[in-house]
Amino acid sequence: MELPPIVPPPHGQAWPEAPADSAGMHWMWLEEAAHFAAENETQWPNDLKLHLESGYFEPPPFNEILGPIRPRGPANGLVLRRGFKIASWGDTDQVDFTFSAAKSYLSLLAGIATMDGLIADLDEPVGRTVDDGGFSSARNRGVTWRHLLQNTSEWHGSLFGKSDVIDRNRDVGLEGRGRKGDPRPLQPPGSYWEYNDVRVNRLSLALLRRFRRPLPEVFAERIMQPIGASCDWSWHGYTTSSVDIGGRMIESVSGGTHWGGGMLIHAEDQARIGLLMLRRGEWNGQRILPESWIAESVRPCAINPVYGLLWWLNTGKGRYESAPEGSFFASGAGGNLTWVAPAQDIVAVLRWTDPSAIDTFIRLIMQAVAE
């Protein structure tokens, strides 16, 4: 008899585990997947500061580190089915930077802002409620919240010492190998998709302006505490990113670790966030996020159908061939991935897995799913 779905207890209590067969999985493929992930660690060095300074993302002086950075730990991860932990490898309580997976956490905060009425309409220009000069130019006046959340804003400017030009012509499929930073003509907001960290940081600052509180405080109070997460995580900005909010200097956090900063978090907490998304914003009978927000978050962008609101999608199996089409992902450089497969009731967290091995890992997990 297969086990019914559960809500895991708060961090500090043992996460309930289940044998593969009780969770409707084939143990052999499940063990093979865990072993494969552990054996296929990212090729990134442990010294992340050295890696960033090496020019992996861009050459000097554009690669200047502005936020905290520290060495990473070994590969680790876990797999949940129906809320039970059914596989794990490495130290899943190891706190590390998670790079652009933090962008998906900004999306959660945008959902809270929408629920609270701080964002009245995703298609409203941001400058109507965020009057800090960042949206006053003719170029940026038409940028909406949706544009920023979909990476289609074409916002132009410099923020905290970094220009949006740094990430123009960026190809995430060639991260660390492709050319980027070449100026190109900007298109009208909403008409061109481009992965751009400066613009995501502009969204983070806009959310800070609306909440008028440090975003990590809001994230802890509205997301992490209700889902029983640990207090081990932290979220950082840059030495240059503190702004005046009502006479109080508050650090605006980064949506990644491209130039240092960003989210330090472990796989166990990331699994809880993935499970919250799989459960469509509900946790143990409590509504954390509107179900409509979760649906909107994973609705394909018209001009890039494998992207939603700062969540990667698998429309047409365009992200991972072996994953179900309904899958979605919080994804960060270096092999940091939270994979959510709603139809299969699966959440998997991969930390420091070689990106070239991720599709094979997913294929092994899908082979483990009993018919």
Residue 145, domain member (yes or no): yes
Q: Do 94 and 296 meet the contact criterion of CB atoms below 8 Å apart?
A: no
Q: What is the pLDDT of residue 279?
A: 98
Kindly report the CATH number assigned to the domain that includes residue 223.
Answer: 3.40.710.10
pLDDT for 170 = 66
pLDDT at 168: 75
Residue pair 230/269 in contact by the 8 Å Cβ criterion: yes
Over the chain, what is the mean pLDDT? 95
Residue 85 host element (H or E): strand 84-89
- pLDDT, tens digit (0-9, with 9 covering 90-100), for 306-318: 999 999 999 999 9
pLDDT for the residue numbered 184: 83
Structure tokens at 124: 């409203």
Q: Does residue 260 contact residue 69 with C-beta atoms inside 8 Å? A: yes
Number of domains in the chain: 1
C-alpha distances in Å from residue 16, one per residue of 175, 195, 292, 348: 37, 38, 29, 15
Are 237 and 69 in contact, with CB atoms under 8 Å apart? Answer: no
Do the domain assignments include residue 130? Answer: yes
- Phi/psi of residue 175, each to 5°? -55, 130
Determine, yes or no, domain membership for 17: no
Query: Is residue 70 one of the residues assigned to a domain?
Result: no
> Is 18:3 a contact under the CB 8 Å cutoff?
yes
**Cα separation, 67 vs 102, whole angstroms:** 15
How far is residue 358's CA from residue 336's CA, in Å, rounded to a whole number?
A: 10
Residue with tokens 């008899």: 1
Paired sense of beta strands 262-265 and 96-97, if any: antiparallel
Angle (CA) 253 251 123, round 5°: 55
- Give residue 324's pLDDT: 98
Q: Which two tokens stand for residue 299?
A: 């609705």
Domain that holds residue 246: 103-253
Q: Which residues of the chain have pLDDT under 50?
A: none
Does pTM top 0.85 for this prediction? yes
Alpha-carbon dihedral 228, 232, 237, 242, rounded to 10 degrees: 80
Which amino acid, 278?
L
